Structure 1
Amino acid sequence: MVTTNLITQMFARSPFKPMQEHIAKAQEAAAQLTPFMEAAMAEDWDKAAEIQQNIVRLENQADDMKRDIRQHLPGNLFLPVPRNDLLELLRMQDKVANRAKDIAGLMLGRKMLIPSQIQKEVLAFLTTAIQTTEQAVVALNELDELIATGFRGYEVDLVERLISKLDQLEQDNDEQERKLRNSLFAIERELYPIDVIFLYRIIDWIGDLANRAQQVGGRLQMLLAR
């Protein structure tokens, strides 16, 4: 009876649901970048500061969730997939929230102004990056179903399609980034050089949001391959 209860307790602490909750929290932080960017473009720095603090709060919550998952993650004997693979997947998820905090923190700290000539492109670029993080959440939400079906059958095909869509969104984001960089290059002589440097950094970090989300899909695909 003691052995049965111990095993039951270990499976009651299955990490898959907490990992799904963690990436949802990370994505929630990323989604806040849209109203933050709109506030920054309107030079409403009070509102931008409020949203930035919300992003920090969400990122801190994601960090707490990450630590809890790490502390309670069972050994390989009690997991259907290698423990190190789950830890690496968790690390990729966490970088989504971290990057969202980086973007808001830098823009608010410098009170960065996005040139009017590229504001629409920046918002479209950010929208696609956030859509990519949303798709990573959708894909990872199938993890428990994958486990339940033993990584076989229809569920595998479904997840493969979700990952393919994730890859396509990231590729679209890459193309938007290329065009946005060209647009900034065309006007950069009109701007202060230091402002141009930080604008390129923000563009790079927004693109990194989509990259991190795609990496989540990549780690999930590795689990499928096993």
Structure 2
Amino acid sequence: MPTSLLGDLFGRSPFQPMQRHMELVRSCVAHVVPLFAAVAAGDGATVAAERAQIDDLEHQADMIKNALRAHLPKGFFLPVARRDLLEILDFQDNIADTAQDLAELVAERRMVLPAPMAEPMLALVKSGQQACDAAAAVIAELDELLEMGFRGREASRVETMVDKLADQEEESDRLEMEVNRILFALEGELDPVTVIFWYRMIELAGDLADYSKKVGSRLRLFLAT
């Protein structure tokens, strides 16, 4: 990678590419809600278009992820370990990968969303998006935290943000259980393969919030050390 591009990637701190990566992840997840709205409406063209957007954004995020993994200098003086930053990066990457997996499943299998599941399934993916937004907001605070040495009022504010992120993940868990109960009641009306794939998609939709929470939980450890 050219030196100028490395400089552009890292800017003032190694947190900048982490933040740029998370913003792309956030944009990727933002397309999951309209994706499932299109599935509910039986709009195959919009499903394909949303999938293409998700694929493109996930690819852009992967480019930053790979560059960061390969070139994050070991000489940066930071109050956190390099491996810890890369662990957060992996969680961020998992969020985008999950969005892409959802898009691939619904598009390739041309899934039809049963009417009784439509509203709660949309609520679940919206909750996952809200959790991702909350995780992105936490990551956006990394530079401020660095300036304050991961202490003080800014650290307390971020801890509150992480608590709210955890609450959002709990709401996603509740919604995931609700959709699972509805699908269980519908099993006799659907073919077994469709049932299996819907259970998988419900799990993936819940993973959006789970991985988002892990981003916040890992950052909380920075504040505790």
Q: CA deviation at 1:143?
A: 0.8
1:5 maps to which residue? none
SS at match of 1:78: coil
TM-aligned CA distance change 1:12 to 1:195, over 3 Å = closer
List aligned pairs for 1:180-191, cutoff 5 A.
180-191=179-190
The amino acid of 1:198's aligned partner reads F
Q: Give the ranges of 4+ consecutive aligned residues of structure 1 lying more than 6 Å apart after TM superposition.
A: none
RMSD: 1.7
CA–CA distance in structure 1, aligned partners of residues 182 and 70 of structure 2: 46
- Residue deviations 1:114-171, cap 9 Å, x none? 1001100100111111100000001111111010001111001000000000000000
The aligned residue for residue 55 of structure 1 is 54
User: 1:8-57: CA deviations, max 9, x gaps?
Assistant: 99x84521011111111011101101111111122211221111011000
> TM-score, normalised on structure 1?
0.93
Other structure's SS at 1:113 match? coil
Name the SS of the counterpart of 1:111 in structure 2. Answer: coil
* Counterpart residue number, 1:194: 193
Cα deviation, residue 93, structure 1? 0.6
Q: CA deviation at 1:80?
A: 2.8
Gaps of 5+ in 1: 1-7
- Greater Cα offset, 66-75 or 152-161: 66-75
Tell me the residue number matched to 1:83: 82
Q: Which of 1 and 2 has greater Rg?
A: 1
Partner of 2:18: 19
Residue 215 (structure 2) pairs with residue 216 (structure 1):
yes
In structure 1, distance between residues paired with 2:212 and 2:198: 22
SS of the equivalent of 1:81 reads coil
| Percent of matched pairs sharing the same residue | 41
Equivalent position amino acid for 2:17 in 1: P
Aligned positions of 1:18-37 closer than 5 A:
18-37=17-36
Q: Is the 8 A contact 1:14 1:73 kept in 2?
A: no
Alignment length, in residue pairs? 219
Q: Which amino acid aligns with 2:205?
A: I
Q: Distance in 1 between matches of 2:76 and 2:96?
A: 30
Cα distance in 2 between the residues matched to 1:17 and 1:194: 44
Offset of residue 177 of structure 1:
0.8
1:4 matched to which residue of 2? none
Alpha-carbon shift at residue 76 of structure 1 (Å): 5.1
Partner of 1:150: 149
**Aligned partner letter, 1:83:** R
Unaligned runs of 5+ in 2: 1-6
Q: How high is the TM-score relative to the length of structure 2?
A: 0.93
